[in-house]
Amino acid sequence: MLILDVDGVLTDGRLHYGPHGEELKVFHVHDGLGLKQLMQAGITIAVISGRDCEALRTRLTELGIKHHYLGQSEKIPAMHELFSKTNITAEHCAYMGDDLPDLEPMQKVALSFAPANAHTSVLQQAHWVCEKSGGQGAVREVCDLILAKRSGSN
């Protein structure tokens, strides 16, 4: 299973607001295709985010990501619930995060990833640091890496 943070991972981390105060998000299509490829390969995708907005819910629905925990200031309880629901253990999970709230979840899983523009503490802890930044194809980079390792290619 691949668990993702949203802001700074699936997006560039900047906050945009529409004329009526609604939160807007920009997602990279390459990331979306990579996630769909992982799901087609039988890998479960989950999202745990400290924020919640309609734009994010729409994108998760478009991608077919059924496991999502939004508005979670504490990510570990959400992870435990996710493990219980999916019967997947932390030893069979990867996590991708970019900032301080992601440090503890990154310590709980077998493999951790960080976008190139993540906070210094996250970059130091990650097993793998992407060449690309959050919202700019970093998630696709991770998806491609997982699929390549799974197929035995480099």
Domain ranges of the chain: 2-149
CB atoms under 10 Å from CB of 57, counted, come to 12
Q: Residue 150 — pLDDT band, cuts 50, 70, 90?
A: confident
∠ CA 142-145-146, rounded to 5°: 85
- What's the pLDDT tens digit per position in 114-131? 999 999 999 999 999 999
Burial call 21-48: b when 16+ CB within 10 Å, e when fewer: eeeebebbebbbebbbebbeeebbbbbb
Q: Which two tokens stand for residue 83?
A: 């493990």
- What's the pLDDT tens digit per position in 54-93? 999 999 999 999 999 999 989 999 999 999 999 999 999 9
Is CATH 3.40.50.1000 the classification given to domain 2-149? yes
- What's the pLDDT tens digit per position in 97-114? 999 999 999 999 999 999
Which pTM does this prediction carry? Answer: 0.95
Q: Does an H or E element contain 76, and which?
A: helix 75-86
Q: Which two tokens stand for residue 28?
A: 């990279």
- Residue 122 and residue 73: Cα distance in Å, rounded? 17
